[in-house]
Amino acid sequence: MRSYDDPCGVARALAAVGERWSLLVVRELLLGPKRFAELNRGLPGMSPNVLSQRLRDLQAAGVLTRRTLGPPVSAGVYELTEWGRELDAVLLALGRWGARAPLSSAAGLGVDALMLALRTTYVPGLAAGPRGVVRLRLGVDSFTVEATGEELRVTRGDAGRPDATVDTDPTTLRDVVFGARTLTDAVAAGAIGVTGDRDTAARLLGSFRRPEPAGTAPTGAAAG
């Protein structure tokens, strides 16, 4: 790891997580531990060799740790340390800030990146009515999304009994929540399946808004 020879907390933070790909590795671990192959799948633009190096760097910095799952499955997983989990708020803030930058990539949004995007673009009062719990099934990945108060809680896996379950793929979900496609159209085309309380699912999926691009006035603001 490189040192900036600067006692500032920002410089010390960058020494720990400032290398290219490091924070994206952290992003992939925010919702829980992953195997090497799962991390590699979530970061397709990153070579396995670079991923291995970043994992070593982050482990040496105390940001993550590696442990072995016990029987009946014997496999190594990587997970954030308590200090590493404190980066959750940092990545949420960075995601909100970065979402206002020009979009220069046509690549699809990874599953964990999409979950972070949902958390950073959630607007509690955007869709009328009470919130609830929705299970999102995106291929082999499953998440439980709970809208409560001013925040959106996302956990990996099936937690509790949801009000509704949404089965789709990341691209379709991204299109629906950000307005490129309506839920009605996606359901009619068979791109999304909804079971349980469809109203709860519709309200949740309608609770997101893209941020205004940097340098533009918010909608409704007076011109200066």
Instruction: Give the predicted TM-score (pTM) of the model.
Output: 0.88
User: What are the pLDDT digits (tens) for 136-168?
Assistant: 999 999 999 998 767 899 999 887 789 999 999
The Cα 153–Cα 90 span in angstroms is: 16
User: What are the pLDDT digits (tens) for 76-119?
Assistant: 999 999 999 999 999 999 999 999 998 888 888 899 999 999 99
Residue 72: asked if its preceding bond is cis (omega within 30°), the reply is yes
- Per the CB < 8 A criterion, the answer to whether 62 and 81 are in contact is yes
- In which band, very low, low, confident or very high, does the pLDDT at 221 lie, cut at 50, 70 and 90? very low
Contacts of range 147-150, beta carbons closer than 8 Å, 24 or more positions apart: 147/122, 147/204, 147/207, 149/124, 150/124
In three-state secondary structure terms, 201 is helix
The β-bridge partners of 165 are 135, 195
DSSP 8-class letter at 203? H
Among the listed ranges 7-11, 37-41, 127-131, 150-154, which one has the minimum average pLDDT value? 127-131
Residue 223, pLDDT score = 40
Amino acid code (one letter) for 8? C
Residue closest to 59 by CA, chosen among 32, 40, 78, 86 = 78
CATH numbers and ranges of domains, the chain: 9-87 (1.10.10.10), 111-205 (3.30.1050.10)
Residue closest to 64 by CA, chosen among 51, 48, 45 = 51
Q: How many CB atoms lie within 10 A of CB 43?
A: 21
The residue that leads in pLDDT, 109 or 187, is 187
3-state SS of 14-77?
A: HHHHCCCCHHHHHHHHCCCCECHHHHHHHCCCCCHHHHHHHHHHHHHCCCEEEEECCCCCCCEE
Q: How far is CA 20 from CA 46, 57, 71, 183, in A?
A: 10, 11, 35, 37
The β-bridge partners of 80 are 64
- In which band, very low, low, confident or very high, does the pLDDT at 216 lie, cut at 50, 70 and 90? low
